[in-house]
């Protein structure tokens, strides 16, 4: 018989607060057109993107995360000293080690929390949220800070007509803590490694050692049509599975917050899922671009800040991207 005592966690977990940070510089499509042969009309029709934010040298992954985290903590009414774990999802922190989560934890004033980074591309926020829920429920941490943050402008090939207009920078954060009722549903997540070549970094870091290597600086590339088909058809199935796992139907939803990859993907998923007209759909991609792991919390924060969504609403969130990986769950908005 095991001698390990039962965990003393909360029966459930919920999102208690959300915060976001968008870099000061707003970049319209006209700037992108300086390096690719395209048009504003083509970019908007293909992606729905009109502008995106690009970070300055001072707006580092850590700095943006600290700003977003401060807002999330204030929104949750939780002090930094109460945070027991910091989880950061990013693919654009260029130091392999140490994890940027440790720097962020120190800068916000957390006291010796667990702190680590995860790499799950555009599904990273969903992965982090699931881990945070587990930590709270099993008692390893009372409050967990989950951050999605990217400086994708550092990994954008501005001469690649297929991707130059897609990516933006920013950080989104949530505080997860105890709840007396279910407020984060079961996560439907997974990976399809046989499709790993469809979204990838062009050159591994170990092959890019110096400027005289002959290689262009590593960038993100993707097979657009293959990704589009996968996202629309396969991710709609995953979204439905998340609804089923939570024991609700599309009619019970108030809000849909998909990864802000592309407006055409979002609109196609809405149609495939047959979402009712009363469901508010996040379309933050128009002015923020694709910010990978940051896109869902940034979109969530904007919906709440503008009144398009309200506290207590039931929302379906789904992220999907490089790997290919995905994660979907139903949550109660803070």
- Catalytic positions are 122, 259, 290
Q: Could you please report the per-residue DSSP string of 36-47?
A: SS--HHHHHHHH
By C-alpha distance, which of 82, 131, 70, 132 is closest to 110?
82
CA 137, 241, 304, 67 torsion: positive or negative? positive
Neighbours of 205 (CB within 10 A): 10
CA separation for the pair 231, 247 (Å, rounded): 23
Preceding omega of 70 cis (within 30 degrees of 0): no
DSSP state of 231: I
Tokens for 253, please give them.
Answer: 């939803």
SS3 call for 151: strand
User: Cα 9 to the chain's mean position, in Å?
Assistant: 26
Tokens for 131, please give them.
Answer: 């881990």
**Inter-helix orientation angle 235-246/263-273, to 10°:** 50
């Amino acid at each position: 018989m095991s001698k390990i005592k039962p965990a003393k966690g909360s029966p459930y977990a919920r999102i208690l607060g959300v915060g976001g940070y968008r870099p000061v510089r707003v970049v319209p499509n006209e700037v992108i057109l300086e390096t690719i042969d395209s048009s504003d009309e083509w970019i908007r029709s293909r992606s729905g993107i009109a502008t995106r934010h690009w970070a300055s040298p001072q707006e580092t992954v850590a700095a943006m995360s600290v700003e977003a985290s401060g807002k999330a903590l204030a929104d949750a009414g939780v002090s930094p000293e109460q945070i027991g774990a910091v989880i950061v999802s990013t693919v654009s922190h260029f130091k392999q080690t140490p994890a940027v989560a440790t720097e962020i934890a120190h800068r916000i004033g957390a006291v010796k929390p667990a702190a680590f980074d995860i790499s799950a591309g555009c599904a990273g926020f969903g992965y982090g949220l699931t881990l945070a829920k587990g930590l709270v429920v099993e008692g390893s941490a009372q409050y967990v800070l989950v951050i999605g943050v990217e400086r994708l402008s550092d990994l954008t090939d501005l001469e690649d007509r297929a991707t130059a207009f897609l990516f933006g920078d920013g950080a989104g954060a949530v505080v997860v803590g105890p709840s007396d009722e279910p407020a984060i549903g079961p996560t439907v997540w997974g990976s399809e490694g046989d499709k790993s070549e469809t979204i990838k970094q062009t050159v591994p870091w170990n092959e890019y050692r110096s400027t005289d290597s002959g290689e262009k600086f590593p960038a993100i590339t993707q097979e657009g049509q293959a990704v589009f088909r996968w996202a629309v058809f396969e991710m709609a199935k995953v979204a439905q599975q998340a609804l089923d796992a939570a024991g609700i139907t599309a009619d019970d939803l108030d809000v849909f917050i998909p990864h802000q990859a592309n407006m055409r993907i979002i609109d196609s998923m809405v149609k495939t899922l047959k979402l009712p007209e009363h469901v508010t759909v996040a379309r933050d991609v128009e002015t923020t671009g694709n910010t990978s792991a940051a896109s869902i919390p940034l979109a969530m924060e904007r919906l709440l800040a503008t009144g398009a969504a309200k506290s207590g609403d039931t929302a379906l969130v789904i992220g999907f991207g490089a790997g290919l990986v995905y994660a979907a769950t139903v949550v109660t908005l803070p």
